[in-house]
Structure 1
Amino acid sequence: MTITPHLSGIQSFVRAAELGSFSAAARHLGISAAAVSKNIARLEAKLGIRLMNRSTRSLNLTAEGAAFFDQVRGALQALDGAVDDLATRRTGPSGRVRMSAGGSMVRHFLVPLLPAFRRLYPGIALEIDSDDRFVDIVSGGYDCVLRGGVIKDNNLAARQVCRFFSVLVASPDYLARKGVPTVPRELVAHDLLAARFLSSGEWIWLFDTDGDAQPHAYPAAFTFSDPDALLAGALAGLGIAQLGTQHVWPHLQAGGLKIVLFDALRSPDMSLSLQYPHRALIAPRVRHTIDFFVDQLRADARLTVSRADLAPFVASAGD
Structure 2
Amino acid sequence: MSALRGIETFVKAVEAGSIAGSARLLGISAAAASQNVQRLESALGVRLLTRTTRSLALTDDGADYYDRVKGLVRELELANQSVAARQKEPSGRLRVAATGAFARHVLSPILPEFSRRYPQLTVEVLATDRNVDHARESLDASIRIGAALEPGLVAQCIARVPSLFCASPDYLARAGRPATPEELSQHDCLVFRFPVDGRFLRWGFVRNGLHFDAPVRARMISDDIDVLARMAQAGAGITRLGAFIAEPMIARGELVELFAEKDVADGSEEARARIDPLEFFLCVRHRRELTPKVTALREYLQEKLPMEWRA
**TM-score bracket for the superposition, by shorter chain length:** 0.7 to 0.9
Residue 128 of structure 1 and its aligned partner are, at CA, apart by: 1.9
Partner of 1:151: 148
CA distance in 2, matches of 1:103, 1:94: 25
CA distance in 2, matches of 1:204, 1:85: 38
- The answer to which of 13-22 and 151-160 deviates more is 151-160
The structure-2 alpha-carbon separation of the partners of 1:167 and 1:97, relative to structure 1 and needing over 3 Å to count, comes to same
User: Does the Cα contact within 8 Å between 1:204 and 1:215 map onto a contact in 2?
Assistant: no
User: Does the Cα contact within 8 Å between 2:106 and 2:244 map onto a contact in 1?
Assistant: no
Partner of 1:288: 296
Partner of 2:122: 125
SS at match of 2:287: coil
The structure-2 alpha-carbon separation of the partners of 1:286 and 1:51, relative to structure 1 and needing over 3 Å to count, comes to farther
The reply on whether 1:21 has 2:18 as its aligned counterpart is: yes
The structure-2 alpha-carbon separation of the partners of 1:206 and 1:263, relative to structure 1 and needing over 3 Å to count, comes to farther
Letter in 2 for 1:303: W
CA distance in 2, matches of 1:40, 1:14: 10
Identity percentage of aligned residues? 35
What are the superposed Cα offsets for residues 113-164 of structure 1, whole Å, 9 maximum, x if unpaired? 2243133211112122333443333333333222224134224333321345
CA distance in 2, matches of 1:224, 1:19: 28
CA distance in 1, matches of 2:252, 2:2: 64
CA distance in 2, matches of 1:204, 1:263: 22
Q: Please, what TM-score do these two structures have when normalized by structure 1?
A: 0.71
User: Does the Cα contact within 8 Å between 1:234 and 1:241 map onto a contact in 2?
Assistant: yes
User: Does the Cα contact within 8 Å between 1:26 and 1:32 map onto a contact in 2?
Assistant: yes
Within the candidate set 228, 240, 244, 2:238 is matched to 240
Partner of 2:136: 139
Q: Note the aligned Cα RMSD (angstroms).
A: 4.0
CA distance in 2, matches of 1:31, 1:118: 23
Letter in 1 for 2:103: V
Letter in 2 for 1:113: I
The reply on whether 1:257 has 2:256 as its aligned counterpart is: yes
What are the superposed Cα offsets for residues 222-249 of structure 1, whole Å, 9 maximum, x if unpaired? 5454323433444565431123455446
Within a 5 Å distance, the mapping from 1:85-124 to structure 2 comes to 85-124=82-121
Letter in 2 for 1:300: P
Within a 5 Å distance, the mapping from 1:34-73 to structure 2 comes to 34-48=31-45, 50-52=47-49, 57-60=55-58, 62=60, 65-66=62-63, 68-73=65-70
SS at match of 2:103: helix
Q: Please, what TM-score do these two structures have when normalized by structure 2?
A: 0.72
User: Does the Cα contact within 8 Å between 1:205 and 1:217 map onto a contact in 2?
Assistant: no
Residue 12 of structure 1 and its aligned partner are, at CA, apart by: 1.4
CA distance in 2, matches of 1:207, 1:290: 27
Letter in 1 for 2:296: H
CA distance in 1, matches of 2:310, 2:170: 28
CA distance in 2, matches of 1:229, 1:262: 29
CA distance in 2, matches of 1:266, 1:119: 37
Residue 272 of structure 1 and its aligned partner are, at CA, apart by: 0.9
- The answer to which of 191-200 and 91-100 deviates more is 191-200
Residue 50 of structure 1 and its aligned partner are, at CA, apart by: 5.0
**How many pairs were matched up?**
295
Letter in 2 for 1:26: A
User: Does the Cα contact within 8 Å between 1:193 and 1:230 map onto a contact in 2?
Assistant: yes
User: Does the Cα contact within 8 Å between 2:228 and 2:239 map onto a contact in 1?
Assistant: yes
Within the candidate set 177, 187, 206, 1:190 is matched to 187
Partner of 1:300: 306
User: Does the Cα contact within 8 Å between 1:156 and 1:278 map onto a contact in 2?
Assistant: yes
Partner of 2:225: 227
The structure-2 alpha-carbon separation of the partners of 1:265 and 1:237, relative to structure 1 and needing over 3 Å to count, comes to farther
